[in-house]
């Protein structure tokens, strides 16, 4: 960056110091004025140390000063030992997200500064190279070390010891004699640089055409949005890798976003096969040290490709040439805690600010993206054929009203038969049920009392393997009580409905020979266990994988030919506008796991609603007419993307105060053309983690400035200290 590009924003005070607005990573109204040490120029993005009250924290020089504080009362910030700048694009992005989501800008900045240790000065690693001195006494061990050192590379004591097969004492002896001399290495090894031309790639004509369009966008270096819309198994990833390669050739940085960490392992391997090394990773599971390394490498431009979860959007890229949002329809892109934002939508904003193309990739795009593509707002790149010899699986419905299953069992006869046939010919199968644990509900067989969480309006889910009842919302756990708390009957509890553990139990009793594994996004089956199950499946060490939505995504199992969906009707009756879309996306994605190599796949869906439009669309492989129906329905209902929604959630330990505040808010809602306010109503989980929750919903026509409406509304209401107010613009969950 040249000096001219740096935005000078400070004003000089009477003592010749620059004064500027400094944004702190706290939920304050805006930046506060501070003085900069003499000689330091106020440049937007400069990270400094500021004190607020008795606390010291990082802050960022943000904007011209307000000028309301007298010069002599202004506090002075301190410089960091090493100057670090947040790139201008990231500062603009923070402001934009804050304004759109109605969060204080400091709360958004906090996400960009979360890696506080990244700003400490580097501590170089101590290493040694061969010196000019010859050791006075030469031994065989010493000779071996010097031979290793002969290549001139710097090594630590332990590396020398290991490579020369000597004890560290031998190495230290050579250092003492001056035969090895100290040198300094940067704290971290630099990240490997992906090679765009590492392997020769062959693409189908369809893939080539899509790749060429994306490559042209990368070359042009302008903001442009493409929807890469390809059926499962059509090779979307290898197609967009061509755009990544082009960005690398142009010396640009690339951000690839994935909805979940669980997906990264297979992805990293695919990336390494294509580009010769792994990309940088960014997600909440990284160690503090690794976060620091990646943050700094992104900031100084040496991290060329970053694969990350939502929070990677707030990394300090300075030369972004491409953003990819994989599985763009995934709800996991919506951040629901703290500052609520939709990472896919905000990725489009960041691409716009950075003036670079963005690719949204999915087999089942969100209806929003589908509409944007069909109206020409996004480029629509379609991949309609499976790659190689693989064909789309055949999808058959099992009507549970005809194929009855015995009470307490979940596998219908047609499904059992298909499993039997598959196992007989040595093929793999997968059973999908989006319910963790053993049973979603435990009730008393005598009086009907249901076991619920004391902190939430939710049932306790039985986890039989661990002999625990757990609340999936707050983490409350208990053992099964010896007697019913209501009627005091002993041993009267009955497990109702299936979870994956219960289906696994049934499968094991029907197929005692089969090797069965469970994968679920669970506190009990944590990420490692799930990864182990998925790896075992990929290596053909498992015959039957039973799991929740964690198995639906992105995995490639060449030997998997049969997918059974235990309950295709689950989730269809949520009552929110996206329920059907989501069911379709999930079932389509699960189905897509079957028959990805030479062998054809079969999907059996157990349902009680075979006439449901979701089922019909899946069986007839007719996605677009399903989407068209959904589009019309949303248009009639003025639902997104044809209208806008915003939710206000009130919560607090004092239920009465929460409800009163809800009523006061509703009364204060301004009248505006094209805006309706609904509520307050108790939220779906009206008690969550011990907090009472009420919701209000704003429904507005597309042309309405929802943020302006909300600002005007909220400015006029005093929220008591005991009540927490959260704004969710464009809500995707209605709990």
* Residue ranges binding Zn ion (CB under 5 A): 444, 446-447, 449, 453, 455-456, 471, 473-474, 476, 484, 486-487
Given CA atoms 297, 301, 305, 306 in this order, what sign does their dihedral have? positive
Q: Which is nearer to Zn ion, 32 or 493 (CB)?
A: 493
Measured distance CA(30)–CA(105) in Å, rounded: 6
Do 331 and 582 contact (CB within 8 A), yes or no?
yes
Among the residues of 311-449, which ranges form H helices?
343-354, 367-374, 413-424
> Pairing between strand 357-362 and 320-326?
parallel
CB of 474 to Zn ion, least distance (A): 3
Measure CA 228 to chain center.
19
Using alpha carbons, select from 22, 91, 85 the residue that is nearest to residue 296.
85
Q: Closest approach of Cβ 261 to Zn ion, in Å? A: 24
Q: What is the DSSP letter of 124?
A: P
Between 476 and 584, whose beta carbon lies closer to Zn ion?
476
Q: Which is nearer to Zn ion, 104 or 682 (CB)?
A: 682
- Least distance in angstroms from the C-beta of 118 to Zn ion: 36
CA atoms of 327 and 256, how far apart (whole Å): 11
The CB-of-521 to Zn ion minimum distance in angstroms stands at 17
Residues 6+ apart with CB under 8 A from 363: 229, 230, 231, 232, 234, 236, 588, 589, 592
Cα angle vertex 660, ends 656, 663, to 5°?
145
- Can you spell out the DSSP letters for 127-146? EEEE-SPPPSS--HHHHHHH
Nearer to Zn ion, 455 or 540 (CB): 455
Cα–Cα distances (Å) from 316 to 109, 113, 191, 253, 289, in that order, read 12, 10, 16, 11, 17
Measured from the CB of residue 477, what is the shortest distance to Zn ion in angstroms? 10
State the Cα–Cα distance between residues 364 and 624, nearest whole angstrom.
10
Task: Supply the minimum distance, in Å, between the C-beta of residue 519 and Zn ion.
Answer: 24
Q: How far is the CB of 685 from Zn ion (least distance, A)?
A: 9
At closest approach, how far in Å is the CB of 260 from Zn ion? 23
Closest CB 688 distance from Zn ion, rounded Å: 7
Least distance between Zn ion and beta carbon 733 (Å): 17
Query: Measured from the CB of residue 454, what is the shortest distance to Zn ion in angstroms?
Result: 7
Please count the other Cβ atoms lying within 10 Å of the Cβ belonging to residue 285. Answer: 10
Residue closer to Zn ion (CB basis): 179 or 453: 453
**Taking CA 333 as the corner, what is the angle to CA 346 and CA 225, rounded to the nearest 5 degrees?**
45
Rounded to a whole number of angstroms, the minimum distance from the CB of residue 481 to Zn ion is: 10
Edge-to-edge strand list for the sheet holding 357-362: 280-282, 305-308, 253-257, 320-326, 357-362, 224-230, 379-383
Give me the residues paired with residue 485 across strands. none
Helix axes 168-177, 140-149, angle to 10 degrees: 80
Give the nearest distance from C-beta 684 to Zn ion in angstroms. 14
Between 484 and 565, CB nearer to Zn ion: 484
Backbone angles phi, psi at 544, to 5 degrees: -135, 120
Minimal distance in Å, beta carbon 494 to Zn ion?
10
Dihedral sign from CA coordinates of 531, 420, 605, 464? negative
**Between 373 and 484, CB nearer to Zn ion:** 484
Taking the least distance from each CB to Zn ion, the nearer of 165 and 486 is 486
Of residues 90 and 484, the one with the C-beta less far from Zn ion: 484
Q: Which is nearer to Zn ion, 67 or 481 (CB)?
A: 481
**Closest CB to Zn ion among residues 75, 488:** 488
Concatenated DSSP letters for 572-587?
TT--STTHHHHHHHHH
Measure the CA–CA gap between 131 and 315, rounded to whole angstroms. 41
Distance of CA 342 to the CA centre of its chain: 10
Pick the closer one to Zn ion by CB: 248 or 444.
Answer: 444
Considering the complex, what minimum distance in angstroms separates the CB of residue 457 from Zn ion?
9
Distance of closest approach, residue 578 Cβ to Zn ion, in angstroms: 25
Pick the closer one to Zn ion by CB: 396 or 450. 450
Nearer to Zn ion, 453 or 732 (CB): 453
Nearer to Zn ion, 469 or 471 (CB): 471
How far, in Å, CA of 549 to CA of 301, rounded?
36
CA max distance for the chain: 92
Sequence-distant (6+) residues with CB within 8 A of 249 are: 196
State which residue, 126 or 487, has the beta carbon closest to Zn ion: 487
Shortest approach of Zn ion to residue 96 CB, angstroms?
36
Report the alpha-carbon distance of residue 364 to residue 242 in Å, rounded: 22
Beta strands in 527-614 (DSSP E): 544-547, 560-565, 602-607
Residues in the chain: 735
- Torsion angle of the four alpha carbons 197, 200, 205, 209, in this order, in degrees rounded to the nearest 10: 0
Of 267 and 476, the one with the shorter C-beta distance to Zn ion is 476
Smallest distance, Zn ion to C-beta of residue 452, A: 8
Q: Which is nearer to Zn ion, 453 or 700 (CB)?
A: 453
CA distance 408 to 225: 49
245-262 burial: b if 16+ Cβ within 10 Å, else e: bbbbeeebbbbbbbbbbb
**Nearby residues of 509 by Cβ (< 8 Å), 6 or more positions away:** none
């Amino acid at each position: 960056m040249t000096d001219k590009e740096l935005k000078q924003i400070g004003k000089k005070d009477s003592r010749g110091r620059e004064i500027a607005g400094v944004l702190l990573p706290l939920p304050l109204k805006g930046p506060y004025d501070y003085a900069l040490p003499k000689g330091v120029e106020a440049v937007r993005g400069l990270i400094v140390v500021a004190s607020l009250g008795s606390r010291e924290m990082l802050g960022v020089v943000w904007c011209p000063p307000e000028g309301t504080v007298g010069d002599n009362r202004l506090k002075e910030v301190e410089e960091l030992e090493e100057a670090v700048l947040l790139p201008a694009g990231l500062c603009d992005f923070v402001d934009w997200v804050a304004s759109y989501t109605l969060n204080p800008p400091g709360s958004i900045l906090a996400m960009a500064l979360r890696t506080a240790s990244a700003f400490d000065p580097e501590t170089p690693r101590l290493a040694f190279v061969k010196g000019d001195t010859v050791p006075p006494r030469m031994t065989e061990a010493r000779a071996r070390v010097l031979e290793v050192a002969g290549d001139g590379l710097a090594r630590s004591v332990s590396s020398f010891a290991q490579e020369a097969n000597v004890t560290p004492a031998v190495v230290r002896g050579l250092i003492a004699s001056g035969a090895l001399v100290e040198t300094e290495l940067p704290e971290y090894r630099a990240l490997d640089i992906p090679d765009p031309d590492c392997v020769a790639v062959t693409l189908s004509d369809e893939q080539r055409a899509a790749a060429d369009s994306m490559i042209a966008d990368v070359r042009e270096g302008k903001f442009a949005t493409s929807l890469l819309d390809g059926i499962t198994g059509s090779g979307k990833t290898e197609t967009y890798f061509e755009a990544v390669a082009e960005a690398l050739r142009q010396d640009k940085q690339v951000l690839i976003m994935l909805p979940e960490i669980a997906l990264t392992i297979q992805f990293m391997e695919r990336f390494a096969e294509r580009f010769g090394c792994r990309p940088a990773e960014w997600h909440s599971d990284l160690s503090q040290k690794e976060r620091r390394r990646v943050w700094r490498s992104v900031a100084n431009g040496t991290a060329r490709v970053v694969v990350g979860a939502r929070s990677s959007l707030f990394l300090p890229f300075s030369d972004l040439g491409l953003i990819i949002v994989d599985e763009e329809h995934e709800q996991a892109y919506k951040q629901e805690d703290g500052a609520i934002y939709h990472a896919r939508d905000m990725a489009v904003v960041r691409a716009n600010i950075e003036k670079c193309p963005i690719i949204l990739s999915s087999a089942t795009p969100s209806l929003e993206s589908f509409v944007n593509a069909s109206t020409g707002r996004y480029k629509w790149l379609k991949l309609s054929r499976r790659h190689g010899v693989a064909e789309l699986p055949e999808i058959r419905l099992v009507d549970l009203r005809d194929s009855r299953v015995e009470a307490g069992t979940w596998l219908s006869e047609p499904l059992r038969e298909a499993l039997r046939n598959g196992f007989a010919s040595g093929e793999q199968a997968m059973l999908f049920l989006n319910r963790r644990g053993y049973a979603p509900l435990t009730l008393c067989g005598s009086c009907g009392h249901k076991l619920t969480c004391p902190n939430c309006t939710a049932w306790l889910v039985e986890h039989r393997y661990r002999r625990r009842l757990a609340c999936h919302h707050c983490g409350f756990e208990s053992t099964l009580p010896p007697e019913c708390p209501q009627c005091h009957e002993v041993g009267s509890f009955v497990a109702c409905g299936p979870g994956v553990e219960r289906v696994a139990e049934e499968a094991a009793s029907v197929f005692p020979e089969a090797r069965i594994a469970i994968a679920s996004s669970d506190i009990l089956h944590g990420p490692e266990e799930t990864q182990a199950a998925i790896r075992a499946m990929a290596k053909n060490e498992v015959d039957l994988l039973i799991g929740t939505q964690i198995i639906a995504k992105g995995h490639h199992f060449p030997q998997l030919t049969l997918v059974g969906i235990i309950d295709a009707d689950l989730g269809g009756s949520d009552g929110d506008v996206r329920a059907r879309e989501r069911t379709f996306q999930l079932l389509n994605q699960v189905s897509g796991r079957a028959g990805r190599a030479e062998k054809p796949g079969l999907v059996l869906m157990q349902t009680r609603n075979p006439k449901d439009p979701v089922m019909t669309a899946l069986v007839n492989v007719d996605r677009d007419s399903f989407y068209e129906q959904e589009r019309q329905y949303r248009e009639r209902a003025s639902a997104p993307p044809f209208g806008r929604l915003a939710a206000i959630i009130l919560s607090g330990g004092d239920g009465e105060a929460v409800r009163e505040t809800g009523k006061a808010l509703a009364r204060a809602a301004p009248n505006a053309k094209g805006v309706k306010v609904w509520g307050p109503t108790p939220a779906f989980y009206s008690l969550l983690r011990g907090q009472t929750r009420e919701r209000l919903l704003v429904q507005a026509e597309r042309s309405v400035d929802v943020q302006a409406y909300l600002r005007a509304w909220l400015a006029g209401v005093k929220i008591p200290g005991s009540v927490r107010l959260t704004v969710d613009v464009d809500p995707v969950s209605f709990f």
